[in-house]
């Protein structure tokens, strides 16, 4: 999912919504690592959970959103679901 598409899809949502990801059938909190070339990289982190505001303030909008797991594998984000007021990326 491109950052531009994510911004458009989440426009008007409360920016304090927490972000998570579903990997291997489990929902895990994510934090924003930052930009790596054309990628906006997030990683699983039980100690800190990013908010929507942290992601939508990033630029450029052409960045591809990915999540890095504990094995350093990058998983592309194709969309999200709202679960218990959190945005669960998948």
List, for residues 42-76, the tens digit of each pLDDT value: 999 999 999 999 999 999 999 999 999 999 999 99
What is the C-alpha radius of gyration for the chain, rounded to an integer number of angstroms? 12
Q: State the pairing for strand pair 26-36/39-44.
A: antiparallel
Overall residue count recorded for the chain in this entry: 90
Domain definitions of the chain by residue range: 3-89
State residue 73's pLDDT score: 96
Cα 63 off chain centre by:
12
State residue 52's pLDDT score: 98
Tokens of 9: 């899809």
Among 15, 54, 57, residue whose Cα is nearest residue 33: 54
- What mean pLDDT do residues 19-40 have? 96
Share the mean pLDDT of the chain: 97
């Amino acid at each position: 999912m491109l950052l531009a598409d994510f911004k458009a899809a989440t426009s008007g949502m409360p920016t304090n919504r927490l972000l998570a990801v579903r990997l291997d059938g489990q929902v895990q909190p994510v934090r924003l690592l930052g930009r790596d070339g054309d990628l906006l990289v997030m990683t699983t982190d039980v100690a800190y959970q990013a908010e929507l505001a942290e992601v939508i303030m990033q630029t450029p909008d052409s960045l591809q959103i990915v999540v890095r797991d504990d094995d350093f594998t990058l998983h592309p984000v194709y969309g999200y679901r709202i679960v218990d007021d959190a945005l669960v990326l998948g």
